[in-house]
């Protein structure tokens, strides 16, 4: 058995019955372009299945552990925890990058730290655990390595909400008022316009933001306003 597979098994605390399945998790499609006779396919079908398993596990976990939240919050929380960046971060902590089979070109271009490749490999690993073991093992693996304390932190601090929603909640709870957004400038041609927006609370400007739409500019301004509020609290 390859040492890298043994090391990966130790890292995740799961011993596979089907070692080829575990190896398949690590096969990026670029590798097959240079190794036409390699006996395993790419991990793309595993990734497809893993995405569904991940979604189901997250839904069950939220339903069981956060019964007071509504379905809209579940959707937002799920999007926050299973996004590419979050999956890639977990894959990095597991050291998946060093195990992936990549083409030389992909290797040179930083494929081992590429967020999309890492996230896809993590999803493929979830699927492989589900196939080789069972749903419960996949569930425990996801809760341990992906959720950990991170999911509780996201929920307690309402980080799953959009910046505008978070700022609105803060303004209502603190001042019983809503933030106001005003366009302060528009630049560029009609098809590629940039909007500059300022957000105000109690008549005081909190922050400004820009974007290619009013909504994007407002979200940027709200995000900066929240960051400013947080830094003032720390200070």
- Walk me through the domains of the chain, giving residue ranges and CATH numbers: 3-156 (1.10.1520.10), 163-234 (3.30.160.20)
Catalytic residue check, 51: yes
Q: What mean pLDDT do residues 2-23 have?
A: 93
Residue in 47, 51, 106, 218 annotated catalytic? 51
Q: What angle do CA 14, 17, 19 make, to 5 degrees?
A: 90
Q: What mean pLDDT do residues 148-169 have?
A: 88
181 beta partners: 199
What gap in Å lies between CA 137 and CA 158, rounded to an integer? 29
Helix (H, G, I), strand (E, B) or coil at 183: strand
Q: Tell me which DSSP letter residue 113 carries.
A: G
What gap in Å lies between CA 150 and CA 53, rounded to an integer? 19
Residue in 23, 106, 120, 123 annotated catalytic? 123
Per the structure block, which two tokens stand in for 158? 């309402």
Give the global pTM. Answer: 0.78
Catalytic residue check, 216: no
Q: Flag whether pLDDT at 21 surpasses 60.
A: yes
Q: Flag whether pLDDT at 202 surpasses 80.
A: yes
What pLDDT is stored for residue 157 in this prediction?
81
Give the residue among 48, 42, 227, 70 at the shortest CA–CA distance from 126: 48
What pLDDT is stored for residue 151 in this prediction?
92
Q: Flag whether pLDDT at 136 surpasses 70.
A: yes
């Amino acid at each position: 058995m390859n040492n890298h597979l043994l090391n990966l098994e130790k890292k995740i605390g799961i011993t596979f019955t089907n070692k080829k399945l575990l190896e398949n998790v690590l096969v990026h499609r670029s590798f097959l372009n240079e190794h036409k006779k390699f006996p395993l396919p790419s991990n793309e079908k595993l990734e497809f299945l893993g995405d569904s398993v991940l979604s189901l596990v997250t839904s069950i976990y939220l339903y069981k552990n956060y019964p007071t939240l509504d379905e809209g919050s579940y959707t937002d929380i799920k999007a926050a925890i299973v996004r590419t960046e979050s999956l890639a971060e977990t894959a990095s902590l597991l050291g998946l990058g060093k195990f992936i089979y990549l083409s030389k070109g992909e290797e040179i271009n930083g494929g081992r730290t590429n967020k999309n490749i890492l996230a896809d490999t993590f999803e493929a690993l979830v699927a492989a655990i589900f196939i080789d073991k069972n749903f419960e093992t996949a569930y425990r693996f996801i809760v341990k390595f992906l959720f950990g304390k991170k999911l509780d932190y996201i929920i307690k601090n309402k980080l799953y909400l959009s910046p505008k929603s978070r700022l609105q909640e803060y303004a209502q709870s603190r001042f019983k008022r809503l933030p106001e957004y005003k366009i302060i400038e528009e630049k560029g041609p009609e098809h590629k316009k940039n909007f500059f927006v300022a957000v105000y609370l109690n008549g005081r400007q909190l922050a400004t933001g820009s974007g290619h739409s009013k909504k994007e500019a407002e979200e940027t301004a709200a995000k900066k306003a929240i960051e400013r509020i947080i830094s003032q609290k720390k200070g």
